[in-house]
Amino acid sequence: MTPLDEAADAAEAASNTKALDLVARAGFAVMALLHVIIGAIAIALAFGHQGQAEPTGAIAQLAANPWGPAVMWAGMVGCAGLALWQLSEATLRARHLPAGRRLGKLVSSGFLAVAYGSVGLSFAGFAVGMGGDSGDSAKDLSTALVRGPLGVPALIGLGLTVFGIGIYFIVKGVRKQFKEELHHFEGTRRGRIISALGVAGHVAKGVALNLAGLLFVVAAATNDPGQSTGLDGSLKALRDHPFGPYLLAAIGAGFVSYGTFALLRSRFGRM
């Protein structure tokens, strides 16, 4: 065994702690709460109310309550722990997988580590009074890509990537691949409920990501970065279509289902 292998084994052992397990589970619970709030906002939008149906909008609602600062710091810690756990999954524990699965684990868990870390930074921003708007962030990112060396192809690539992640969520939901992340409750009422929530939630989240990805592609095709307004903008765009409000309400209900599933995942999931 090389010194590098020994160091990796030591780091993996250090990551297998009860403390990290608890903080990562708390992070899953935080993400679950955000999905429920986003779903509720999306349903409200379908009935003509105002709101920001994206993570920053959900965090802003949590920050507005009397315990806001404490909730912000707790959310940051939970998301940071979850990001660290996903990073260890992508690197330390992925070493033991076959070569074919190792790359897939590196990409999937690595992406999640970045995603959870960015949500943690959003919590930290609100905690210190520097909250932002993810829709504006999406526009800024689109503008930067269009003006960059690769220009329009880079923005199209980003849109197709987001669209692909949406397809992944839909397939994962339809095939019930999320069951691999849970302790098994086959044949029980709890198992059937968890399965139904998992299917509805993953499919709804996938559809929402598909819409967001398409807006990036539209922004590239029209050379108008302002078209890419993130999740919130993609959901609000549905209201202009004949059956849009019904689809928006269905997606909102799906997000609530996904949030409920994620909450159960925080309690019964495999770590």
pLDDT band at 93 (very low <50, low <70, confident <90, very high): low
**What single-letter DSSP state applies at residue 176?**
T
Short-list 40, 121, 110, 107, CA closest to 78: 121
Joined tokens for residue 121: 């930074």
The average pLDDT across 151-157 equals 73
Report residue 220 CA to chain centroid gap.
Answer: 24
What is the rounded average pLDDT for all residues in the chain? Answer: 79
Short-list 135, 159, 161, CA closest to 222: 159
pLDDT band at 266 (very low <50, low <70, confident <90, very high): confident
Task: Count CA atoms closer than 13 A to 65's CA, side-chain side.
Answer: 9
Short-list 232, 226, 196, CA closest to 211: 232
Handedness of CA 55, 60, 65, 69 (dihedral sign): positive
DSSP string, 208-234: HHHHHHHHHHHHHHTT-GGG--HHHHH
Q: Is it the case that residue 268 has pLDDT exceeding 60?
A: yes
Percent of the chain surpassing pLDDT 70 = 75
Q: Is it the case that residue 5 has pLDDT exceeding 70?
A: no
- pLDDT of the residue at 271: 67
pLDDT band at 6 (very low <50, low <70, confident <90, very high): very low
Whole-prediction pTM: 0.81
Q: Which residue has the higher pLDDT, 72 or 144?
A: 72
Q: Please, are residues 65 and 71 in contact by the beta-carbon 8 Å criterion?
A: yes
The average pLDDT across 137-151 equals 58
**What single-letter DSSP state applies at residue 269?**
B
What is d(CA 158, CA 153) in angstroms, rounded to the nearest whole number?
A: 9
Joined tokens for residue 160: 């197709």
pLDDT digits (tens, 9 = 90+) for 167-225: 989 999 999 888 887 766 666 777 788 888 889 999 998 888 888 888 777 777 766 65
Q: Is it the case that residue 85 has pLDDT exceeding 60?
A: yes
Short-list 38, 53, 24, 35, CA closest to 113: 24
- pLDDT of the residue at 34: 94
- pLDDT of the residue at 73: 95
The average pLDDT across 137-164 equals 68
Short-list 98, 101, 83, 78, CA closest to 32: 78
Q: Among the listed ranges 92-96, 166-170, 239-243, which one has the minimum average pLDDT value?
A: 92-96
pLDDT digits (tens, 9 = 90+) for 51-79: 888 888 899 999 988 888 899 999 999 99
Q: Which residue has the higher pLDDT, 122 or 268?
A: 122
Report residue 226 CA to chain centroid gap.
Answer: 22
User: Helix 18-46 crosses helix 99-127 at what angle (to 10 degrees)?
Assistant: 70
What is d(CA 214, CA 160) in angstroms, rounded to the nearest whole number?
A: 8
Short-list 169, 193, 205, 245, CA closest to 36: 205
